[in-house]
Amino acid sequence: MKHDHFYLTTPIYYVNDAPHIGHAYTTIIADTMARYARLKGCNTFFLTGTDEHGQKIEESAKARGKNAKEWADENSEKFKTLWDDFGISYDKFIRTTDEEHKLGVQAAFQKMWDKGDIYKGEFEGNYCVSCETFFTNTQLVNDEFCPDCGKPTSVLKEENYFFRLSKYEKQLIDWYSQNEECILPKSKKNEVVKFVEGGLRDLSITRTSFEWGIKLPDNIGDDKHVIYVWLDALLNYVTALGYGTDEKNMEYWPANLQIVGKDILKFHAIYWPAFLLSLDLPLPKHIAAHGWWTRDGEKMSKSKGNVVNPKEIADAYGLENFRYFLLREVPFGQDGDFSRRALIDRINSDLANDLGNLLSRTIGMSDKYFGLNIELKDLYTYHKEDMAKIDEITACLEPLLYGMQTHRYLEEIWKMLGVANKAIDTVAPWNKMKEGKEAEAMALIALCVNVLARAALLLSPIMPNKMNEVASAIGFEINTQNFEKLIYEKSPLASSKLSKVTALFPRIEEIIEEAPKQVEEAKKEEKKYVSIDHFFETELKVGTVLEAENAPKSSKLLILKVDLGDGDIRQIVAGIRESYTAQSLIGTQVCVVANLKPAKIMGVISEGMLLAAKDANGLTLIRPETPKQSGSKIG
């Protein structure tokens, strides 16, 4: 499957949160697909960015005493910096606060309005701020809680503008049925189709209860409203190409692939195509929904305090190893539990053993027997069947990747490595050399070189730097021309001059402190233990109390200003007044849980928690034995 244009997108990330492994997962899959498309020679455009408007962002900024734009700038930069650190090959990083985006969204709103797809009406519903979504009474859990994230909803009554979603019901159903793979995986598609067949209600697409959003176009003349954040956000996929402003990149539309998490599939598979139909734009070719990374079976999220920091993992275990793990470990579309143990096992068995050893054995043998010069002339004489197997595997790979079966794609490549590894053991070239059968030993190495060359090309979208090293060790280059020759035409490499390299995939000998028996028992006893990973997710720091005062309206609470170093000064509300006066705390040190979600206590924001011990004699703060620098880590 060759595309001239290949446009692919990630969701744009909310800026109320720092990036975590879930965000990295979406972005790394997209980066892999973009690199594959480029390697094939497609004219590729890869878009990512940040979603910056809406009540959720407005509120999280307020909780920190910042204005929304400042807060958005700060967090958007965190995403961009991480993607740059990770070498994500995006062509554009869009922010929904960009001027062109705002103009594009207003142009789209205007077009929908002119077409009669937008009307004004009254709306009352149960609103979840966290998901920025309305739910019907029957959808709520226990009459109050959001069915998606479990947080309490509130009743919102507003005069709103509505989008005629119901008008597009039939067209959507036709699209689903005429385009087998428009939504991947198929199981997810079935859920979407069922939902739409159940009937669509018009969608409220403006809000008046907050201000942080894009205003309606001037000539609609209603400046009380801002545009619903999901309409604003979804349109990024076309405003990034210049929709409504400078449309020169609109030739990339429709997108070939839009990757999203399963939690936001409804927005992408129902609302988004309906908006596009209203704008008379063609629909995307594929929308692919992946599952969630969980910790102990729960979705990772900052509010649950169980997030895995992708930068920390990449720094500790190698970025490309981490990329491989993410794509290999869990079938696309399914949830997967993250553990360091599983990551290390993958690195050691797949990368160090199967791939790394194949490379070092190939180089070692070619050095010892043939001075690193390998000729391929007898390859088919001795390894015709092996090459046929490898060709067969090569042919099945692209459909697997385009079907988003990344784990299967990698599994098949590993079968290819298996053919070479097995052949080394069967042929035993060291014996052939002793028996004077040099041609057979040479043919065996030629087989290994060919397997490594194909693997290097096919794996380079996932591990670009490592695969460049593999390629140069076996004397060729990763480029479109070689991809065409070796992968599409399945031609063997001509002769090869190998070179020595240091081990590309060293084993990781880290001992993860999880005695299997204990883990089993802990599971049985309903999670009696927490893992070391989990423990370290709690950031404990030494803080110095700068100010302290009694909280109004409370006899138990004190409000402290605590210095956590590097200019990080927190307001912490602590229930310790029965044991400490405000004055006695100033200048003393305390131990702080630094990454708790800020919360309001008796109307005052608290940005951390103090550690204390309590018994029948009262409460005592836990403090360092001797003074430590503010911000020193505990643990």
Please give the torsion angle defined by the CA atoms of residues 490, 360, 507 and 459, in that order, rounded to the nearest 10 degrees. -20
Question: Strand, helix or coil at 343?
Answer: helix
Whether residue 562 contacts residue 582, with contact meaning beta carbons closer than 8 Å, is answered with no
Which residue in the shown chain puts its C-beta closest to ligand MSP? 261
Q: Which stretch binds ligand MSP (CB under 6 A): 9-17, 139-147, 358-366, 549-557?
A: 9-17
Applying CB under 6 A, does 11 fall inside the site for ligand MSP?
yes
Cβ-Cβ contacts under 8 Å for 387 (sequence gap 6 or more): 379, 380, 447, 450, 492
Least distance (Å) from ligand MSP to the CB of residue 18? Answer: 10
Applying CB under 6 A, does 234 fall inside the site for ligand MSP?
yes
* CA–CA dist 271, 35 (Å, integer): 29
Sign of the four-CA dihedral 340, 344, 345, 350: positive
Q: How many residues bind ligand MSP (CB under 6 A)?
A: 20
Nearer to ligand MSP, 13 or 369 (CB): 13
Judge if the upstream peptide bond of residue 254 is cis by omega within 30 degrees of 0.
yes
Q: Which stretch binds ligand MSP (CB under 6 A): 228-236, 324-332, 363-371, 592-600?
A: 228-236
Least distance (Å) from ligand MSP to the CB of residue 276? Answer: 13
Up-side HSE of residue 75: CA atoms within 13 Å toward CB? 25
* CA–CA dist 592, 622 (Å, integer): 9
Which of 467, 562, 607, 452 minimizes the C-alpha distance to 64?
Answer: 607
Least distance (Å) from ligand MSP to the CB of residue 293? Answer: 4
Least distance (Å) from ligand MSP to the CB of residue 247? Answer: 20
Site for ligand MSP in 14-33 (CB under 6 A): 14, 22-23, 25-26
Nearer to ligand MSP, 267 or 324 (CB): 267
Q: Which token pair is 491? A: 């031609």
Applying CB under 6 A, does 243 fall inside the site for ligand MSP?
no
Least distance (Å) from ligand MSP to the CB of residue 232? Answer: 9
Applying CB under 6 A, does 13 fall inside the site for ligand MSP?
yes
Applying CB under 6 A, does 341 fall inside the site for ligand MSP?
no
Q: Which x/- pattern, by CB under 6 A, does the window 440-469 give for ligand MSP?
A: ------------------------------
Least distance (Å) from ligand MSP to the CB of residue 300? Answer: 4
Least distance (Å) from ligand MSP to the CB of residue 53? Answer: 10
Least distance (Å) from ligand MSP to the CB of residue 76? Answer: 12
Q: Which x/- pattern, by CB under 6 A, does the window 250-279 give for ligand MSP?
A: ----------xx-xx---------------
Nearer to ligand MSP, 300 or 420 (CB): 300
Nearer to ligand MSP, 25 or 382 (CB): 25
Up-side HSE of residue 149: CA atoms within 13 Å toward CB? 18
Phi-psi region of 356 (alpha: psi -120 to 50; beta: other; left: phi over 0): alpha
Phi-psi region of 483 (alpha: psi -120 to 50; beta: other; left: phi over 0): alpha
Nearer to ligand MSP, 15 or 486 (CB): 15
Q: Which token pair is 377? A: 């002339």
Least distance (Å) from ligand MSP to the CB of residue 75? Answer: 10
Nearer to ligand MSP, 326 or 459 (CB): 326
* CA–CA dist 355, 505 (Å, integer): 8
Nearer to ligand MSP, 206 or 236 (CB): 236
* CA–CA dist 58, 268 (Å, integer): 24
Q: Binder to ligand MSP among 184, 231, 300, 453 (CB under 6 A)?
A: 300
Least distance (Å) from ligand MSP to the CB of residue 152? Answer: 19
Q: Which stretch binds ligand MSP (CB under 6 A): 232-240, 318-326, 415-423, 430-438?
A: 232-240
Q: Which stretch binds ligand MSP (CB under 6 A): 5-13, 342-350, 580-588, 600-608?
A: 5-13
Nearer to ligand MSP, 234 or 410 (CB): 234
* CA–CA dist 4, 2 (Å, integer): 7
Q: Which x/- pattern, by CB under 6 A, does the window 30-59 give for ligand MSP?
A: ---------------------x--------
Distances (CA, A) of 223 to 142, 215, 218, 226: 37, 6, 8, 8
Q: Which H or E element spans position 534?
A: helix 532-537
Least distance (Å) from ligand MSP to the CB of residue 261? Answer: 2
The DSSP symbol for 107 reads H
Question: Strand, helix or coil at 421?
Answer: helix
Q: Which residue has the tokens 């927490």?
A: 530
Nearer to ligand MSP, 24 or 390 (CB): 24
Q: Which token pair is 58? A: 């407005």
* CA–CA dist 300, 292 (Å, integer): 8
Nearer to ligand MSP, 334 or 465 (CB): 334
* CA–CA dist 39, 485 (Å, integer): 12
* CA–CA dist 321, 464 (Å, integer): 11
Q: Which stretch binds ligand MSP (CB under 6 A): 200-208, 231-239, 276-284, 317-325?
A: 231-239
Least distance (Å) from ligand MSP to the CB of residue 264? Answer: 5
Least distance (Å) from ligand MSP to the CB of residue 632? Answer: 30
Question: Using alpha carbons only, what angle is made at residue 303 by residues 301 and 305, rounded to the nearest 5 degrees?
Answer: 75
Which of 63, 68, 70, 79 minimizes the C-alpha distance to 17?
Answer: 79
Question: Strand, helix or coil at 461?
Answer: coil
Nearer to ligand MSP, 263 or 469 (CB): 263
Nearer to ligand MSP, 22 or 475 (CB): 22
Backbone dihedral angles phi then psi of residue 213, each to the nearest 5 degrees: -170, -175
Least distance (Å) from ligand MSP to the CB of residue 366? Answer: 43
Nearer to ligand MSP, 299 or 561 (CB): 299
Residues that bind ligand MSP (CB under 6 A): 11-14, 22-23, 25-26, 51, 233-234, 236, 260-261, 263-264, 292-293, 299-300
